[in-house]
Amino acid sequence: MLKVLFVASEAAPFAKSGGLGDVAGSLPKALRRLGIDVRLMLPKYAALPASCRCQLNHQVSFTVNVGWRRQYCGLETLDYGGLPVYLLDNEYYFKRPSLYGYYDEAERFAFFCRAVLTSVPYLGFAPDIIHLNDWHTGMVAPMLTQYRHDTMLKNTRTIFTVHNLTYQGIFPKEILADLLNLGWEHFTIDGVEYYDKVNFMKGGLCYADYLTTVSPTYAEEVQYPFFGEGLYGVIRRRRDKFVGIINGIDYDEYNPATDKSLAVNYTDATPELKRENKVRLQQMLGLPVRGDVPLVAIVSRLVAAKGFDLLGAVLDELMAMDIQLVVLGTGDTQYEHLFSQAAWRYPGKAAAHIGFDDILARQIYAAADLLLMPSLVEPCGISQLIAMRYGCLPLVRETGGLKDTVQPYNEYTGEGWGFSFTNYNAHDMLYTIRRALNFYQNKQVWTKLVRAAMQRDYSWDASARRYTELYLQVCAGGQL
């Protein structure tokens, strides 16, 4: 049986700050259903839920070398629905209020990368593949070159998945020896050197046996300067070992037929029941109860990459339409203010909840007619997949995973299940919104689109099969 150690800095439900947590919490379970002996490894954070903490079993303690430091590491395990989970414990590094954002990020994740490899002899599990995810795990790949004498790691291959190239883990070059225990032979243009600094992301990109990212379109985009974040040359050089595999969502977790967060459950056979969820949400948010008004939703991190500058440019024109706007999210102050002020300026037409609430998010997906995602950059995107599952039609800009997952409606052929625009232009977006609202008035067409969206299969099953094929190819030394 193929053995895979899946390593990430976060994974739901143990710790989550974004899409990486969703992927790392769901993909290993889907791989295990396909017969892969996959095991998950991540840090043991203070945020670990009490329901998980009470299940932990301490296996062993050992020492991890972080430069000249000799740091404690505890290996703790639990069973998560049949998935073995390893948590690496060091309270100095990980018992903190937040997952990220500290002055010593380089040291924290240098420790984690070294601890991953140091822990393997204690697992009783010799991985054929270590699957690494984003910059926090990138240095495992170059560090592995120092472990080829170890019988449990001498034949191990690595796959490195880029979830978002924007965040790279760039630190002063002095950490090479002081934290990473790597020689200067690695500090080259083909190694971890990046403008006279050390780049964790580049370590994964240059040293892993194979590279993936989270959608086919993003895999193409990052090979060009605008999306490539200074690393497009590295990726282009390795493009023969680089593939985009679309993310999925957990269809058991996100199921409008069984979701207890909803006022009324429904399926693609009963999409008319969405109306009851709309009424309940309108009541909850203090909006006029109108079943006929299109409810437009934004459920997102409120940051520039999500395209909210476009909303700011045409907000008054948008709100002049006969719509209701609901916003849920937190992020940059300017966008929080944009939507908070919109709710103040347009009482009865707009509501904004600055923060994040998973139950409210599900209620919005179930109630809304349109989900707006005008992203400037979107490696994959999760919100549009959840929205389609709940019969909320996505309106997106054609970039990254949004382009790969949302086929725009063609009224001449009847194909499609959403709406999209190409140029990063506010009035192109506004035109597309108006076009969608015109179709909303035709209930026969709209119901057909809702059903088509709900019937799309973006579960992890198809993606897990693709990863399984990749694992087998990499172990065999071949290419896809």
Residue 237 pLDDT exceeds 60 = yes
Residue 213 pLDDT exceeds 50 = yes
User: pLDDT tens digits, residue range 10-45?
Assistant: 999 999 988 899 999 999 999 999 999 999 999 999
d(C-alpha 12, C-alpha 190), whole Å = 34
On whether 448 is known to bind a ligand per the annotation, the reply is no
Domains with residue ranges and CATH for the chain:
3-248+461-475 (3.40.50.2000), 271-458 (3.40.50.2000)
* Residue range 121-128: mean pLDDT, rounded: 95
Mean pLDDT of the chain: 96
Give the pLDDT confidence score for residue 478 in this predicted structure.
Answer: 56
* Residue range 142-158: mean pLDDT, rounded: 94
Which residues does 393 contact at the CB level (< 8 Å), separation at least 6? 369, 370, 371, 387, 417, 418, 419, 436, 449, 450, 453
Residue 480 pLDDT exceeds 50 = no
Number of DSSP helices (H) and strands (E) in the chain, helices first: 19, 18
d(C-alpha 262, C-alpha 284), whole Å = 12
Give me the DSSP letters along 400-422. HHHHHH-PBP-TTT---SBEEE-
Say what the pTM is. 0.94
Give the pLDDT confidence score for residue 19 in this predicted structure.
Answer: 86
Q: What angle do CA 293, 406, 285 make, to 5 degrees?
A: 30
User: pLDDT tens digits, residue range 379-410?
Assistant: 999 999 999 999 999 999 999 999 999 999 99
d(C-alpha 136, C-alpha 61), whole Å = 22
Q: How would residue 258 be classed by pLDDT, with cut points 50, 70 and 90?
A: very high
Residue 52 pLDDT exceeds 70 = yes
Residue 286 pLDDT exceeds 90 = yes
| Percentage of residues of the chain with pLDDT beyond 90 | 95
Among residues 194, 10, 13, 214, which one has the least CA distance to residue 100?
10
Helices 443-454 and 426-440 sit at what angle, rounded to 10 degrees?
110
Give me the DSSP letters along 11-74. BTTTB-SSHHHHHHHHHHHHHHHTT-EEEEEEE--TT--HHHHTT-EEEEEEEEEETTEEEEEE
Lowest-pLDDT range of 12-26, 65-79, 165-179, 281-295: 12-26
Give the pLDDT confidence score for residue 351 in this predicted structure.
Answer: 98
User: pLDDT tens digits, residue range 410-452?
Assistant: 999 999 999 999 999 999 999 999 999 999 999 999 999 999 9
User: pLDDT tens digits, residue range 324-372?
Assistant: 999 999 999 999 999 999 999 999 999 999 998 999 999 999 999 999 9
d(C-alpha 169, C-alpha 272), whole Å = 47
Q: How would residue 151 be classed by pLDDT, with cut points 50, 70 and 90?
A: confident
| Percentage of residues of the chain with pLDDT beyond 70 | 99
